[in-house]
Amino acid sequence: MQPHRRFSFGSISRRLTSYFWLLIVVGMLLTIGLGYLPLDAQTTDISETVSRCIPQQTRQPIVRSELIGSSRLQGKNYYLLAIYTENNQQPTNLIIAVTNGRCEELFFNPMGDRIPFASAVPRSVAQQLTLAQYRREIQRIGKDRFQQQVIQVATTTQNPTWFAEEVWALRQLDITVPTNVQVQQ
């Protein structure tokens, strides 16, 4: 026959405290452990269909990808992604089209050349993806700062020429396009 344990609030309090600290320690270990996962494993806003389309063979390994925006035209879904590679803080633009679960890479610019999206996708899609890109930047830095950057780029560049999709998107966002900017159709 076993002796009965006496009920006390102190023993319950000690058990709850030990469970609480155990949960805290496990939570910290999980948080630290997740920090060591590859960055693209932490990306949750990209569907599996789209993530399968991200190129695996690039000069530098891709460490993170982010969905910037999407557009739909004539039964085809277009996705603009920011792709981050090792040793590069600036993302590379990637546009993927998905039709009936099948995807194709339409635009990938790892060198960061100034190339309009409209060179690879219909103009209306290029406009919508550029608009999404600018909205995201405004969300990140604020509209006033974004406007200042637009003015600064236009005034520090000799004969600034911007793509039609860029000017269209800026106007949609009520961002003033400097008068010295020339639009490339």
At residue 80, what are phi and psi to the nearest 5 degrees? Answer: -100, 125
- Residues in Cβ contact with 110 at an 8 Å cutoff, skipping those fewer than 6 apart: 58, 59, 85, 92
Which residue type is seen at 99? T
Report whether pLDDT(23) > 50.
no
Q: Tens of pLDDT along 105-125?
A: 999 888 888 899 999 999 999
Most confidently modeled range among 33-37, 62-66, 169-173: 169-173
Which of the four pLDDT bands, split at 50, 70 and 90, describes residue 4? low
pLDDT of residue 29: 34
pLDDT at 89: 82
- Asked whether residue 30 carries a pLDDT value surpassing 70, the answer given is no
Q: What is the pLDDT of residue 32?
A: 33
Residue 112 to residue 54: CA distance in whole angstroms: 17
State residue 1's pLDDT score. 52
pLDDT-derived band at 19, boundaries 50, 70, 90: very low
The answer, yes or no, to whether residue 27 has pLDDT greater than 70, is no
Question: Would you state the pLDDT for residue 173?
Answer: 97
Return the pLDDT at 165: 96
pLDDT higher than threshold 80 for residue 73: yes
Q: How far apart are CA 13 and CA 86, in angstroms?
A: 49
- Minimum mean pLDDT range among 1-5, 19-23, 82-86, 93-97: 19-23
pLDDT the model gives residue 143: 96
The residue that leads in pLDDT, 97 or 86, is 97
